[in-house]
Amino acid sequence: MRDKAVVVTGAGAGIGAALARRFAAEGARVAVNDLDADKAKAVAEEIGAVAVPGDASAIVEPAREALGGVVDVYCANAGLASGGTEAADEQVWATAWDVNVMAHVRAAHALLPGWLERGEGRFVSTVSAAGLLTMVGAAPYSVTKHGAYAFAEWLSLTYRHRGIKVHAICPQGVRTDMLTASGSAGELVLAPSAIEPEDVAEALFAGIADDRFLILPHPEVAGYYAARAADPDRWLGNMNHIQQKWEAAQ
């Protein structure tokens, strides 16, 4: 990664900040993006990077300019942990879709022409284990993270023969503000096995070294994913037991 131009969205804290720090430690030139300008600047100053605050949906061109006209690696990390059921307000659904899926689509649309011309580029999507499985009490989050995973998968199968590398990071609980904001559902399902943001960054770099698409900072997710595919009804029954346990605790 030495001298590579790397953009990390949602990098003012949590997983994004850990990714930015790790890329900088590897010698990359990093653009730190966050909606909170002060947080973006603080992380950028800490690691000797450049801050490019603003909406992650429209950050490619400002980041490319800040990095000298090129982006080699793009980490679509910004996300919303939107809770609620099917009855969540439509604006909650729309915002979750825009941030968790369409921001990735817009970034790819802006990046791919240059990457395909060069024959190389790396797109890192911070999805979630919820994108492979689901999350109780969080329909907008679960559905849009499935969308984020599907888009990353589509990018990989469509462009891998043209030099485009794609990685989908799918952790369970990570000790961040997002986990705290997930409330009692996160406390029940995610907190017991929660890891540090730095562990996610380490998992990504191990996956890059192995040229793996699916990055599982919690290795046990592979087993859950396989069980879900092999016997959906049994898996849904087990998840419903967790749902009932969560409801009883409210």
Residue 181 is predicted with a pLDDT of 67
Kindly list the distances between the CA atom of residue 87 and the CA atoms of 112, 145, 246, in Å, as whole numbers in the listed order: 37, 18, 18
> Has residue 244 got a pLDDT over 80?
yes
**Three-state secondary structure of the chain:** CCCCEEEECCCCCHHHHHHHHHHHHCCCEEEECCCCHHHHHHHHHHHCCEECCCCHHHCHHHHHHHCCCCCCEEEECCCCCCCECCCCCHHHHHHHHHHHHHHHHHHHHHHHHHHHHHCCEEEEEECCHHHCCCCCCEHHHHHHHHHHHHHHHHHHHHHHHHCEEEEEECCCCECCHHHHHCHHHHHHHCHHHCECHHHHHHHHHHHHHHCCCEECCCCCHHHHHHHHHHCHHHHHHHHHHHHHHHHHHC
pLDDT of residue 179: 64
pLDDT of residue 81: 87
Average pLDDT in the 176-183 region?
A: 69
Span 112-122, pLDDT tens digits: 999 999 999 99
Whether the Cβ atoms of residue 246 and residue 184 lie closer than 8 Å to each other: yes
> Residue 44 has which token pair?
């950028």
For Cα atoms 126, 176, 171, give the angle at the middle one, nearest 5 degrees.
35
50's CB contacts (< 8 A; 6+ apart) are 29, 30, 31, 32, 44, 66, 67
Res. 103: pLDDT tops 70:
yes
Pairwise CA distance, residues 64 & 47, whole Å:
18
Confidence at 174, pLDDT banded by 50, 70, 90 = confident
Average pLDDT, whole number, for the chain? 93
**Percent of the chain whose predicted confidence (pLDDT) is above 70:** 96
Average pLDDT over every residue of 67-81: 94
Report d(CA 193, CA 109) in Å as an integer.
36
| Distance from the Cα of residue 96 to its chain's centroid | 13
Is 176's pLDDT higher than 90? Answer: no
Query: Quick one: pLDDT band at residue 250, thresholds 50, 70, 90?
Result: confident
Q: What does the pLDDT read at residue 246?
A: 83
Q: What is the pLDDT of residue 26?
A: 96
Q: How far is CA 92 from CA 18, 71, 83, in A?
A: 27, 31, 9
Would the pLDDT of 185 be above 90? no
Q: Give me the architecture of the 5-249 domain, per CATH.
A: 3-Layer(aba) Sandwich (3.40)
pLDDT bracket for residue 175 (50, 70, 90): confident
